[in-house]
Structure 1
Amino acid sequence: MKKTATFFISFLLSIQFIAAQSVNSYSTAQAHSHNDYERSRPFEEAYEQQFGSVEADVFLVNDTLYVAHNLKDIRRERTFSALYLLPILQKVEQNGGRIYPQDNVPLQLLIDLKTEGEPTLAALVKVLEPHKKIFAPAGSVRIVVSGNVPDPSLFEQYPDFIYFDGRPENVYTPAQMAHVGLISQAFQKYSKWNGEGPILEKDKRKIRKMVNDVHDLGKKVRIWATPDNINSWKTMMALGVDYINTDKVQQLGDYLRTAPR
């Protein structure tokens, strides 16, 4: 009995140690600025925190890509080029070809297509093509297209600097998977937890299984619409979610840099 108890305690301690290591390994490089364009200073706020991922919703209107949450929110000066592409080009030039001064800190730009997929993506490719050397796989900025994405059978028709946002329930061929840059899903698929107190064990198991399955494919995970507080951030990190989704850029940045785990 004593040996069993000793083994059980050792097992618990090892699990806690692994969880602690997982949480401690996170930095702002694993932070995702959800609907980044709604910030008072789009791109710049997340960039100053050295976030690893930012998200922009785009609409194609009269051959121009605009950044907005809804069509009614479109403003003439709020184009994709003005709010994201030009600032990114400026940072890359300042940093000698890298998005961040450090060699090993990339940036994921998640572009959510809100208007019809094919023409919107064609317009996006046209805007990005002249600068493809700064985009992955050649450069340090990875473009991941979400929203109205084409059928996976069409992925190979697009330039190699265009990656797509996949879903964990979808089955991709190896060739299609090479064009998947990220796997995302809604939190509500796994849990109704509001971020207060502990998440249910059965919900944790569902999330952990999804994360492990995606990691086995060599891809990273984002879960959107998660509760947005410290308790939730810690929970997602302990479960191995690669990008921590937030609307609180400053708060999450401060937490990841300074808060005890």
Structure 2
Amino acid sequence: MKLFTSLVVFICLSVQTIYGQSINAYTTAQAHSHNDYERKRALMDAYEQQFGSVEADIFLVNDSLFVAHNLKDIKPERTFHALYLGPILELVQKNDGNIYAQKDAPLQLLIDLKTSGEETLAALIRELEPHRKVLAPTGTIKIVVSGNVPDPALFEKYPAYIYFDGRPEVSYTPAQLAHIGLISQAFQKYSGWNGEGPLPEKERKNIQKMITQTHNLGKKVRIWATPDNINSWKTMMALGVDYLNTDKVREMGDYLRTAPR
């Protein structure tokens, strides 16, 4: 009887981890707030759910960085400092140098450059440089730059606290890979699945192959524009996707804390 019970437990654990991380191991630390700035409470909704990653699109206009989805949406009060950097610095001060009260809980800030990469990144660095001590690799805030990123050959000229969002189809040198903080790709690159029923097997295998290759490089995976429902979240967890993409911050937070697997 004991042998049978042990075998059942082993099989269950094997099913849970066959694609990578155990589904039961997921918490809101693996949740990514997509287009976070479009929420009424930018940063804070995701922060209160203890999300591990948030996303902000930035535009450089007249030497100032603004957060918006499109150029026409820019408002004078919605600067990068007002919505993100300032509140983050206040939270770090409150938590004795850490973004969260738990010292081992980091926050990834994915910054999507919407205007010219070189100039926008230079402006971002000017804002971040005075606060480099709270930024990874020494601090608990990890800056990952996406969008109009520079050519990988230029990665090494940027400060150590600037990481870049890579693509799975790009071959990076070991030196360039050291500056990659995350590897991302659009879900539509692999599948047109709508999140209902099972993910088609051929498409699942293609996604799994990309995830395995990325993990073999020692990097984490984010897939954007995935269907945003519980069935899709469970599917992404079974595949071992490191950051679960969502616009439903509260719903995903509730699910990851309380829902049965």
Amino acid paired to 2:180: V
Residue 40 of structure 1 pairs with residue 40 of structure 2? yes
CA–CA separation in structure 2 for the residues paired with 1:98 and 1:11: 38
Provide the C-alpha distance between the structure 2 equivalents of 1:10 and 1:125, rounded to a whole number of angstroms: 50
Counterpart of 1:4?
none
For 1:98 and 1:243, locate their aligned partners in 2 and report how far apart those are by CA, in whole Å.
21
Q: CA deviation at 1:16?
A: 2.1
Structure 1 residue 206 corresponds to structure 2 residue 220: no
The match for 1:127 is 127
Q: CA deviation at 1:12?
A: 6.5
Q: Which residue of 2 aligns with 1:110?
A: 110
- The whole-number CA distance in structure 1 between the counterparts of 2:16 and 2:123 is 48
After superposition, the Cα gap between the structure-2 partners of 1:65 and 1:10, relative to the gap in structure 1 and judged at 3 Å, is closer
Q: Distance in 2 between matches of 1:247 and 1:102?
A: 25
1:167 is aligned to 2:167: yes
- Inter-partner Cα distance in structure 2 for 1:211 and 1:61: 37
CA distance in 2, matches of 1:150, 1:240: 29
CA distance in 1, matches of 2:83, 2:166: 25
The alignment of Structure 1 onto Structure 2 pairs a total of residues equal to 253
Q: Which amino acid aligns with 2:122?
A: A
* SS of residue matched to 1:193: coil
Q: Which amino acid aligns with 2:218?
A: G
How far is 1:13 from its partner?
5.1
Are 2:256 and 1:252 aligned?
A: no
Q: Could you say what secondary structure the match of 1:32 adopts?
A: strand
Distance 1:27 1:11, change over 3 A: closer
Is residue 54–residue 109 contact of structure 2 (8 Å, CA) maintained in 1? yes
How many angstroms does 1:61 deviate by? 0.2
Q: Distance in 1 between matches of 2:205 and 2:103?
A: 36
Deviation at 1:103, TM superposition (A): 1.4
| Whole-angstrom distance in 2 between the partners of 1:139 and 1:199 | 38
Post-superposition shift, 1:22?
Answer: 1.3
Seq. identity, %: 71
Matches within 5 A, 1:58-97: 58-97=58-97
Structure 2: distance between partners of 1:13 and 1:63: 55
Instruction: Note the aligned Cα RMSD (angstroms).
Output: 1.5
| In structure 2, C-alpha distance between the alignment counterparts of 1:15 and 1:189, rounded to whole Å | 29
Contact 2:168-2:210 within 8 A present in 1 as well = yes
Q: Distance in 1 between matches of 2:93 and 2:14?
A: 45
- Compute the TM-score of the two structures, normalised by the length of structure 2: 0.94
User: What is the deviation of 1:15?
Assistant: 4.0
Answer yes or no: is the 8 Å Cα contact 2:168–2:185 preserved in 1: yes
- Distance in 1 between residues matched to 2:190 and 2:259, nearest whole Å: 27
1:67 to partner: Cα distance: 0.1
The one-character-per-residue Cα deviations of 1:199-258 (angstroms, maximum 9, x if unpaired) are 101111111111110000000000000000000000000000000000000000000000
The residue matched to 2:66 in structure 1 has which SS? strand
Q: For structure 2, list consecutive stretches of 5 or more residues without a partner in the other structure.
A: 1-7
**Cα distance in 2 between the residues matched to 1:157 and 1:106:** 25
Q: Which runs of 4+ in 1 moved over 6 A?
A: 9-12
1:6 alignment partner in structure 2:
none
Q: 1:236 to 1:123 in 2, by over 3 A?
A: same
| Structure 1 partner of 2:26 | 26
Deviation at 1:19, TM superposition (A): 5.0
